[in-house]
Structure 1
Amino acid sequence: MALELSLASGLQAHRLRAAYERDGVVQIEGVFPRPVAEALAGVLERQTSWSLVHSGPGGEHVILPREALEAAGAEEMRKRLTEVARRASRGFGYVYLVYPMIDAYLDGRDPGHPLHALTEFLNSSEFMDFAHAVTGEPVVKVDAQATHYRPGHFLTLHDDRGVGERRAAYTIGLTRAWRPDWGGQLLFHDARGDVARGFAPRFNALTLFKVPMSHSVAAVAPYAAAPRLTITGWLRDDPPYAPSGMR
């Protein structure tokens, strides 16, 4: 399926910039034309092969491809996820499903997959110029991964600090329907540990926020009846992925 990607018309970057500068975060609803958002959501719902990603015992990033997930027994997965949750109680941790868009694109994985077109669009002048206009940050390239949170999935408190080229973070919400008691909110935390601001999973909404900023994704409730689907990543100012940008 070929995707004709573009931002929605009428987005007013100068007004969004004022909110971003004031609050350090801004959410932009209706960022894509509706048919584009519908098509992207369909790709995540029906055309994406997900891997499981979680934090490892030494803080490493552990990815289990689909084949490994299918081969693992229920007891093995239960023990693995119990250990992830135990470690998360003492520090940074996470578990969710992922499609690593940048790695898949650069490795030539899944030729013709529609998410490759989105990877290219996020690294196009149209999107990067808009992101720069809203944040004021230099944007040379854009990281991207697709994420799929199921019941029990979470991402604990962190601030994205430590990688200097990350100028801002973003999420693109493609969750069609969500109840507020299902969890999964993107939460921003103040110095006292209170929730300063939070956004429920939404459809066709771009959220941009400064780095560093303390945030988390609340655990998805065991009774949540729909997937939390997003595209996430960072706006960066280190050299592009290929000599002429995305190839």
Structure 2
Amino acid sequence: SYYQPGDHSLPHQDMHVGRTVAAVWHLSKNWDPKWGGALYWNHERGTNNAFVHASFNTLCLFSVNPDSSHFVTLVNEQAEGKRFAFNGWWQTGQAPLSLDK
């Protein structure tokens, strides 16, 4: 993914048959957290939420399930860099499980 100043993503799930784990590998060198572009992972109950700044060579892994969503916060207009990340999923032949199971 590539985010420029003014870009963000809306909360969403990566639900798809067989997807069990999502991965976001941050590849932006010298990214300043004050520029935004953080990954926010949210559980529907409001517990176990995570906020991860786009730090170079950081890999974020999280469960793909119907109980959670995630999004990228707004990259502000003062951002001097480009927010790059590689996104992917681990797949199995099973349907995603709820975090309650």
Contact 2:31 2:56 in 1 (8 A): no
Alignment deviations for residues 208-245 of structure 1 (CA, whole Å, 9 cap, x no partner): 1101231111111111110011100111125xxxxxxx
Unaligned regions of 5+ residues in structure 2, if any? 94-101
Question: Cα RMSD (Å) of the superposition?
Answer: 1.9
Question: Among residues 44, 50, 54, which one is paired with 1:191 in the alignment?
Answer: 44
User: What is the alpha-carbon distance in structure 2 between the residues aligned to residue 235 and residue 183 of structure 1?
Assistant: 27
Q: Secondary structure at the match of 1:202?
A: coil
Q: Which residue of structure 1 aligns with residue 6 of structure 2?
A: 152
Q: Which residue of structure 1 aligns with residue 64 of structure 2?
A: 211
Q: Displacement of 1:184 after TM fit?
A: 0.4
Identical positions, percent: 33
The 10-residue stretch of structure 1 (186-195 or 204-213) with the greater mean CA deviation from structure 2: 186-195
Letter aligned with residue 230 of structure 1 = A
Unaligned regions of 5+ residues in structure 1, if any? 1-146, 239-247
Map 1:33-52 onto structure 2 (within 5 A). Answer: none
Map 1:1-247 onto structure 2 (within 5 A). Answer: 147-161=1-15, 163-191=16-44, 196-212=49-65, 213-237=68-92
Contact 1:186 1:200 in 2 (8 A): yes
Q: Secondary structure at the match of 2:9?
A: strand
User: What is the alpha-carbon distance in structure 2 between the residues aligned to residue 181 and residue 195 of structure 1?
Assistant: 23
Letter aligned with residue 150 of structure 1 = Q
User: What is the alpha-carbon distance in structure 2 between the residues aligned to residue 192 and residue 206 of structure 1?
Assistant: 25
Q: How many pairs were matched up?
A: 91
User: What is the alpha-carbon distance in structure 1 between the residues aligned to residue 48 and residue 39 of structure 2?
Assistant: 10
Q: Normalised by the size of structure 1, how large is the TM-score? A: 0.34
Q: Secondary structure at the match of 1:214?
A: strand
Q: Displacement of 1:153 after TM fit?
A: 1.2
Which has the larger share of helix? 1
Q: Displacement of 1:188 after TM fit?
A: 1.2
Q: Which residue of structure 2 aligns with residue 67 of structure 1?
A: none
Runs of 4+ residues over 3 Å off in structure 1: 192-195
Q: Displacement of 1:190 after TM fit?
A: 3.4
Letter aligned with residue 79 of structure 2 = A
Letter aligned with residue 203 of structure 1 = F
Q: Displacement of 1:151 after TM fit?
A: 0.6
Which has the larger share of strand? 2
Q: Displacement of 1:180 after TM fit?
A: 1.7
Q: Displacement of 1:196 after TM fit?
A: 2.0
Q: Normalised by the size of structure 2, how large is the TM-score? A: 0.79
Letter aligned with residue 10 of structure 2 = T
Q: Displacement of 1:185 after TM fit?
A: 0.3
